[in-house]
Amino acid sequence: MTASGSGRFGGVLEQIGSEVAALTDRGRPADYIPLLAGADPGRFGMAVAEPDGTVYGVNDWQEPFSTQSITKVFALALVLASEGEEIWRRVGREPSGNPFNSLVQLEYENGVPRNPFINAGALVVTDRLQTLTGNAAGRVRDLLREESGNPAVDFVAEVADSEAAHGDRNAALAHFMASYGNIANPVPELLAAYFRQCSIAASCQDLASAAGFLARRGVRADGSMLLTPSQAKRVNAVMLTCGTYDAAGEFAYRVGLPGKSGVGGGIVAVVPGVCTLCVWSPGLDRRGNSVAGVWALDRFTTLTGLSVF
């Protein structure tokens, strides 16, 4: 492990970490999950992990934050690893062009969500993982622990409870899909698993490391295979087109990398074959993506020239 200021990515992270102080508009923390509303938009962390496990970081890169929708990537990876392409019968892989918690497309499209990263699609993926394992949230947590090497990665019960107490929209999505036969588990059980999964706290260091299999063509930290190279390519492709919701076009334009955001203010991004990144800053734009996070990834790809384009 390498700290900031040295090695291949130390210099660029130092630069971004000092430039970010000049950002005046940092957005606002998510307020529909009360426990996230109090986060300080002034916080900022960034980490870069190389495929060999070397991690560079700057500012609050070791501070745990609420991973939220970033966990959707790991849940999808586990389902693909378990049963291959089956899941695509129940969820699409097209950008939605709608907010992450939107209901409107679901009725037109007969209860089949556009992609696995909007909430409806993620509920279907967690539902399948729950059927396959009996413990969807636990499996996502364990994957994050194993790939980050940090056994402290865990659920935060207060965050899950806070979301559950304000979870009417996700409950509506789940019940609506159940009415089309696209949810197999009892909705209350599914929602509990989904909120637990979203409540996992991890740092930029943890998440940049844990996403390493996406830069290593599906190979896990221990050298075994989680996904085939083709599956890893496909997860990256869906992250690029759908990972930042109705801002995916703008994110591709500015950052040029597959990325997945969460309303806790984190974003994971992948430079296939080269590195994985995670940024965190709790202030969000109106589409639910971290303002300083997108800015920092934009700076990173501009300064290094690393992008998939």
- Name the maximum alpha-carbon separation found in the chain: 55
Catalytic residue, chosen from 4, 20, 48, 69, is 69
- The candidate with the shortest Cα–Cα distance to 1, out of 64, 60, 61, 45, is 61
- Nearer Cβ to ligand DON (9/194): 194
Catalytic residue, chosen from 159, 219, 245, 261, is 245
Angstrom distance (rounded) from CA 292 to CA 211? 20
Tell me how far apart the terminal alpha carbons of the chain are, to the nearest angstrom. Answer: 29
CB of 60 to ligand DON, least distance (A): 19
CB of 130 to ligand DON, least distance (A): 16
Alpha helices of the chain — where are they, by DSSP H? 7-19, 34-37, 71-83, 104-108, 119-133, 136-148, 157-165, 168-179, 187-198, 204-210, 212-215, 229-242, 248-254, 291-304
- Nearer Cβ to ligand DON (96/261): 261
Catalytic residue, chosen from 72, 73, 187, 219, is 72
Task: Reply yes or no on whether 253 is catalytic.
Answer: no
CB of 218 to ligand DON, least distance (A): 24
**Candidate ranges 8-16, 87-95, 250-258, 260-268; the one touching ligand DON (CB under 6 A):** 260-268
Nearest-Å Rg of the Cα atoms of the chain is 18
Q: Which of residues 6-65 bind ligand DON (CB under 6 A)?
A: none
Instruction: Choose, by CB under 6 A, the member of 29, 116, 212, 288 that binds ligand DON.
Output: 288
Task: Reply yes or no on whether 307 is catalytic.
Answer: no
> Is there binding between residue 68 and ligand DON (CB under 6 A)?
yes
- Nearer Cβ to ligand DON (17/262): 262
Instruction: Choose, by CB under 6 A, the member of 77, 79, 198, 238 that binds ligand DON.
Output: 198
CA atoms 34, 40, 41, 43: torsion sign:
negative
The contacts of residue 286 (CB under 8 Å, 6+ apart) are: none
Angle separating helix axes 168-179 and 119-133, nearest 10 degrees:
70
CB of 15 to ligand DON, least distance (A): 27
> Is there binding between residue 100 and ligand DON (CB under 6 A)?
yes
3-state secondary structure 130-156: HHHHCCHHHHHHHHHHHHHCCCCCECC
Closest residue to ligand DON using C-beta atoms: 69
| Contact code string over 115-134 relative to ligand DON, x by CB under 6 A | ----x---------------
Catalytic residue, chosen from 219, 263, 270, 279, is 263
Task: Reply yes or no on whether 69 is catalytic.
Answer: yes
Q: What is the DSSP letter of 118?
A: S
Angstrom distance (rounded) from CA 23 to CA 7? 26
As annotated, the active-site residues are 69, 72, 194, 245, 263
The residues that touch ligand DON, with contacts defined as CB under 6 A, are 68-69, 100-101, 119, 163, 170, 198, 261-263, 288
